[in-house]
Structure 1
């Protein structure tokens, strides 16, 4: 605020109020306007660093904006109507005689406006400061600030622009962020917030023009302008690991990153992409979940973390207790069971939203997602099983599905178990004795089950684990085999 008032006094010294022009290089007066059709209708800061006017955001689409004059292509620092661009003909920004500032489209509809309640008796002007701050102020008696763009940033902060009150937000095209009650960075690039969070860019020091931008991918980055080329260099970023950016792939998805292909997103098993042009919308269920514990199950995804959005926290839990708690709640989308190495116990985190999904070999937890029971075997992308498991004691009559662990058609850690089960099956084949099923079933699950259906489940699981990929059933064949037991 003090910077803006000082700037107003400077304007009074430099610019004669009685000027007959509707606008000088950096000032727009009452009763005048800037037209989208005149490229020369711009306000330019006294130091020439910033310009304000109509900024092209698409084919015949414009926003009234403040941008860096020397960047190539021009880079916007603030926009009045970013989400509602106006037509390239007939649109204008007007400083009305009553002191109101209004942006209208070709039909005269008000797209964006500021009511100052200053009245016709006061002299009101709009000016662009050296800081990039667009300021609306009165000149009667003591200069008074009516509005400034620094109080309503879009996706960018400029040096010395305070990020201060509870309503101030940086908003990217699909993400938003607010990190402290008060925060600011200076012209050297040093950032500090009221909670003592600080950082410096790699080129810390006086010199380059800077901006701090919340980019469309959700990452916060500081840029430095190389004025000789007009290009921007990233001098700092909040997250260097692309999959750590909050919500980058949207809900119900997993984020993957490798140096060769960059970041990719994929839907969780049982989900489909919601918007093929924007991953930030995430994925949605292929089949609606009915809030009925006999019609849902849980799909196990090892070493996957869904950060945040916990319904509750259950210390020293078991998988059975965690599953029961999630099953009780219709808004529970799944749960995470994480091993605490220091305490030697598992903790449970029921989730009301599955977002920020990331698989990591170092993660000591397992996630379980809730799915309709009739979709439990339909989670393959390429007709092959994936690194997921089923956990349930419902569906297929009253038989448990048990825990069937697959890894892209090949067994990873249960070779001995498979050999043991096959031996049991081969010995019982000649006598048609089904007692082998009772021997391999884990009684701790505490479920009633149909022995014939349980046998089919085991046989299907073993077929999926065949070493020869041509011997493995397709997912359609798996479904048909299971459906035959309904």
Structure 2
């Protein structure tokens, strides 16, 4: 070997023997994280984290939309990652100047851009090390025994359960607010002390009216049970009885056949609890969903004063007549009134300011504040609500009248005739306008003297009485102020041909001049209003 070759070989050997200082700045995969370690939000990279041994899970700073960073755990994906746990989820995101420290005192602290410190993990004991496990569980180990776990993220779920994780008796999952905001959202899943696993809108009482799905595993009062929800590593989702050797109570899903698949059960932002199989290629397959596939079955999906309709395999939110979206860009936030409320007197004088508008094919799951028995008709029920200061909607069902107060909740439209009914909404007259804002939207081809009768304008020998009556009713439906109430052309044809019954139309505006002619075809409450 000549001198030149020997020199090159020596230099190459020395270079390869140098320590990799870059690698030492971050823990190795599944290396125990020691006090003194820290993380900062990345400037160019998407996340900054401590990884599990497999690299499938990470703990650290997760970039959330354009709002900044949150501290959490995520399932690492090839295309996009999935956040499965968030620390202090209702705190505002931090900027790129924040810092996460595993202090020498054995605690994990977040220092934000203002220099304020926030405890991320409260272990109530000094930790000697930490680790991000392949299960997705971030753990802290005790000071005296490195194998003793003193804190784990699995004990504090936010919106997701992972394989090997339980939701204990009294535990709760809360949905996130949106895809880019992991703050506490609008729905919750409770593992109740009575043994029932129940879905509710957030911030509601635990009543049967507010619940929109239940496992039906409730036990009799006084029976000693301690149920918990458990997701195993093969995707088997079960409710187990801890007090009886973890005996199975009910199974919500079947097990998968791939040990390499990661399973997660998440209460999604739409209020549906879904079980996902997460594959190595980054795809997520839904293995089960509760309730079903129709988000309109979720109480409060569309927010207050709105109506949920399931069309073309997707939910559509519309404001009820007399209401407008709180935020036109987010239709699930609900609606607010678009008219000024006047002082209610509780008598016929209120008819000067309000009108009752029907909404057909409705399923209404909310509890009424008053249920009147013995009412004989929809008109009587509607009028009772009109003169009731607390009533803003009413439903008539076979002799009973259910009155609802504000806010109006849990309405959905259905195409199943057996399950639906007609609701009557109290709406301010100022909000009932034609689509073009015309104060007098009615135009007739011949002058009508209000003292004449219909048979003096169009003699009965020219057209049959029943046919004329049908034509007038259909015409009144076609000029409704709310476009949502107007029939389609197909509906008009079916009504005129007698295939479909023609209901008594609600009261449009501008009837003062023709009331004596058409009043026979309108509801009594409408006639009282326009007089």
The CA distance in 2 between the partners of 1:202 and 1:317, in whole Å, is 53
Q: TM-score, normalised by structure 2?
A: 0.62
Structure 1 counterpart of 2:432, from 377, 380, 394: 377
Residue equivalent to 1:177: 188
- CA offsets 1:264-316 (integer angstroms, 9 cap, x no match): 22111111111122122111001133443332443221221222243244556
Native 8 Å contact 1:55 1:64 kept in 2: yes
Structure 1 counterpart of 2:293, from 240, 260, 263: 240
Residue equivalent to 1:211: 264
Structure 1 counterpart of 2:239, from 182, 190, 193: 193
| Gapped regions of structure 2 (runs ≥ 5) | 1-23, 178-184, 193-227, 242-248, 439-472, 499-503, 505-510, 523-527
* 1:265-414 aligned within 5 A: 265-289=317-341, 290-293=343-346, 294-295=349-350, 296-314=354-372, 317-318=375-376, 319=378, 322-323=381-382, 326=385, 330-339=389-398, 346=400, 348=402, 350-361=404-415, 362=417, 363-372=419-428, 374-375=429-430, 377-378=432-433, 407-408=485-486
Structure 2 counterpart of 1:101, from 95, 99, 108: 108
Give the direction of change, closer, same or farther, for the CA distance of 1:211–1:409 in structure 2 (3 Å limit). closer
Give the direction of change, closer, same or farther, for the CA distance of 1:313–1:126 in structure 2 (3 Å limit). farther
Give the direction of change, closer, same or farther, for the CA distance of 1:202–1:186 in structure 2 (3 Å limit). closer
Secondary structure in structure 2 of the residue aligned to 1:150: helix
Give the direction of change, closer, same or farther, for the CA distance of 1:74–1:461 in structure 2 (3 Å limit). farther
The CA distance in 2 between the partners of 1:288 and 1:60, in whole Å, is 36
The CA distance in 2 between the partners of 1:315 and 1:143, in whole Å, is 67
- Confirm or deny that 1:59 pairs with 2:137: no
Give the direction of change, closer, same or farther, for the CA distance of 1:455–1:123 in structure 2 (3 Å limit). closer
Q: TM-score, normalised by structure 1?
A: 0.67
Give the direction of change, closer, same or farther, for the CA distance of 1:203–1:160 in structure 2 (3 Å limit). closer
The CA distance in 1 between the partners of 2:495 and 2:519, in whole Å, is 12
- Confirm or deny that 1:263 pairs with 2:267: no
Native 8 Å contact 2:157 2:173 kept in 1: yes
Structure 2 counterpart of 1:159, from 138, 160, 163: 163
Give the direction of change, closer, same or farther, for the CA distance of 1:197–1:459 in structure 2 (3 Å limit). farther
Give the direction of change, closer, same or farther, for the CA distance of 1:381–1:84 in structure 2 (3 Å limit). farther
The CA distance in 1 between the partners of 2:130 and 2:397, in whole Å, is 57
The CA distance in 2 between the partners of 1:22 and 1:205, in whole Å, is 32
**Offset at 1:209?**
1.1
Give the direction of change, closer, same or farther, for the CA distance of 1:179–1:324 in structure 2 (3 Å limit). farther
Native 8 Å contact 2:236 2:256 kept in 1: no
The CA distance in 2 between the partners of 1:146 and 1:29, in whole Å, is 15
Give the direction of change, closer, same or farther, for the CA distance of 1:383–1:21 in structure 2 (3 Å limit). closer
Native 8 Å contact 2:175 2:269 kept in 1: no
The CA distance in 1 between the partners of 2:516 and 2:329, in whole Å, is 41
The CA distance in 2 between the partners of 1:185 and 1:138, in whole Å, is 27
- CA offsets 1:340-367 (integer angstroms, 9 cap, x no match): xxxxx55635354323322224234111
The CA distance in 1 between the partners of 2:521 and 2:382, in whole Å, is 28
Native 8 Å contact 2:234 2:255 kept in 1: no
Q: Which runs of 4+ in 1 moved over 6 A?
A: 413-417, 460-464
**Offset at 1:248?**
2.1
- CA offsets 1:157-188 (integer angstroms, 9 cap, x no match): 21222112435322221422214333122222
- CA offsets 1:362-394 (integer angstroms, 9 cap, x no match): 23411122223x23633x55779xxxxxxxxxx
The CA distance in 2 between the partners of 1:381 and 1:82, in whole Å, is 44
- Confirm or deny that 1:73 pairs with 2:125: no
Native 8 Å contact 1:322 1:335 kept in 2: yes
The CA distance in 2 between the partners of 1:326 and 1:167, in whole Å, is 41
Secondary structure in structure 1 of the residue aligned to 2:287: strand
